[in-house]
Amino acid sequence: MSAPLLWIAIPFLVGVSILFFLRERFSAFIGGSVAAILALIALIFPIDEALLLGSISLKISPSIQFFGRSFEFSAADGALLAIIYGLAALWFFGTEASGTANRFVSLGLMIVSLLTASIAVEPFLFAALLIEIAAMLVIPLLVPPYQKPGRGVVRFLIYQTFAMPFILFSGWMLAGVEASPGDLGTTTQAGTMLGLGFAFLFAVFPLYNWIPMLMDEASPYVAGFLLWALPTFTVIFALGFLDRYVWLRTSPQLSNAIQFAGVFMVASGGVFASLQRHIGRMMGYSAIAETGLLIIIMGLPSSEIVNLTFLLLIPRGLVLAVWALALSILKRNAYSLLFNEVQGLARSFPAAVTALLLAQLSMAGFPLLAGFPARLAVWQELAGQSLTMTLWVFIGMLGLLAAAIRSLAVFVMADEEKKWRVNESWVQVTMLGLGVIGLFILGMFPQILQPFLADLPSLFNRIGQ
């Protein structure tokens, strides 16, 4: 069997089957199990390498041709595929606890398979089209049937669509830059077009206004999945650009622009999060700040770019899953996620509130939690470049910490007569408990990620070495 069939075609077909033939009660288990099995296969069976099991020889071929396009995985992609489908399994298993419909699992599998295809496709510019198709599949998840889409959904789709022509046109121009690297005019134009395209994809300020809107309009669990999936694959796509075109990586002007955009996102996201009176919007602005950290890493003149990126991406998937699940539980039992509606819920839903606060503290880089090791590493790298940018990143993290403290104060603000009760189901408590344990394990023992991180730099021949 070929690797693209295994990690692209099979999950896509399973997603279609779940959508049309399975009931909601079975979708979470089947979708999560399929994603977990694919993650285990990626860990156990190396790509393009024969493996003997007794008298049976197994080999996963690396590539396949489809409509004149090549989809190819290398042996180094195994760890990346394990990370992607392992985190996806976590999201799919959590759908039953969150109360989302079976469309989440089915469409989620199709979205992850399309985004995985964006990693494997050659020519690699076609990845932009696959990301756009995946973004369009998100719309049925964000908008319930027979309901008019809100402003946040519309802006999300518009911005994602605007990104495509910029990236595709810049790719065409970059081919000319490779042929004549001394042409400064073409180089500047290509860099500008590419920057605009990724500004739309990453939702760089002021293009991230759709994120807090979306947190008001859509299910927190679906919005959290979107905030995990699309930025993750966009980062991998952007690293491919930096690896492929040497002048992008070595240009000091572009590096400074990338770092400035990232620092501005971290600082503004943290400050805006601290000013919110809606805990869903707090999650949106916190995700914006963390995306800013990813952008900062891509602008660092360091050989550790790949390791730092995935050291941040792996805990991000867990933190957002725990946070989104807790928000979904609270939203199902409160009129809205405004402070005056969730006040005192710590006594009624202690497991959900505890998980939410720990996820929020992890996003702020609180010690012993999953987000701390990556942020410490980024601060160390950034401090060697600019103390001013380090200070602004610290201000952003301080804003996220202030938001977490405000949330804690609101959740515990209740009448003394109100009794403590656990209203979460055993499934919800189990999923939240496992997520919280994961937050502490990744925070206290970040070295367990080393087996995954060891092979990832080889995916990018130039920036990873």
- Please answer whether residues 151 and 213 qualify as being in contact, where contact means their C-beta atoms are separated by less than 8 angstroms: yes
| CA atoms 119, 120, 126, 132: torsion sign | negative
- Please answer whether residues 31 and 106 qualify as being in contact, where contact means their C-beta atoms are separated by less than 8 angstroms: yes
Out of 35-44, 92-101, 223-232, pick the least confident: 92-101
- Please answer whether residues 123 and 244 qualify as being in contact, where contact means their C-beta atoms are separated by less than 8 angstroms: no
pLDDT at 459: 78
pLDDT at 400: 93
- What CA–CA distance (Å, rounded) separates 205 from 264? 8
State the virtual CA torsion across 234, 235, 241, 247 in degrees, nearest 10: 140
Q: What is the pLDDT of residues 146-170, one digit of tens each?
A: 778 888 888 999 898 888 888 887 7
Q: Is 277 helix (H, G, I), strand (E, B) or coil?
A: coil
pLDDT at 238: 85
- What CA–CA distance (Å, rounded) separates 109 from 114? 9
DSSP structure class, residue 73? -
Q: What is the pLDDT of residues 109-128, one digit of tens each?
A: 999 999 988 888 877 777 88
Q: What is the pLDDT of residues 316-338, one digit of tens each?
A: 999 999 999 999 998 888 778 88
Q: HSE of 104 in the Cβ direction (CA atoms, 13 Å)?
A: 30
pLDDT at 54: 61
Segment 294-299 mean pLDDT: 89
pLDDT at 102: 62
pLDDT at 359 over 90: yes
Residue 51 pLDDT class (50, 70, 90 cuts) = low
- What CA–CA distance (Å, rounded) separates 341 from 266? 28
Most confident by average pLDDT, 171-180, 266-275, 339-348, 411-420? 266-275
Neighbours of 335 (CB within 10 A): 9
Average pLDDT of the chain to the nearest whole number: 84
Residue 292 pLDDT class (50, 70, 90 cuts) = very high
Residue 175 pLDDT class (50, 70, 90 cuts) = low
Angle between helices 126-142 and 151-179 (to 10 degrees): 180
User: Hey, what are 248's tokens?
Assistant: 């992008």
Neighbours of 396 (CB within 10 A): 31
Q: Show me where the domains of the chain are located.
A: 1-122, 123-459
pLDDT at 265 over 90: yes
Closest CA to 306 of 385, 240, 244, 370: 240
Q: What is the pLDDT of residues 200-238, one digit of tens each?
A: 888 888 888 899 988 888 888 999 999 999 999 988 888
Cβ burial of 65 (10 Å; 0-12, 13-18, 19+) is: exposed
Q: Which amino acid is at 145?
A: P
The residue that leads in pLDDT, 369 or 102, is: 369
Neighbours of 392 (CB within 10 A): 20
pLDDT at 455 over 70: yes
pLDDT at 434: 93
pLDDT at 14 over 80: yes
pLDDT at 135 over 60: yes
Closest CA to 307 of 112, 120, 446: 446
Neighbours of 421 (CB within 10 A): 10
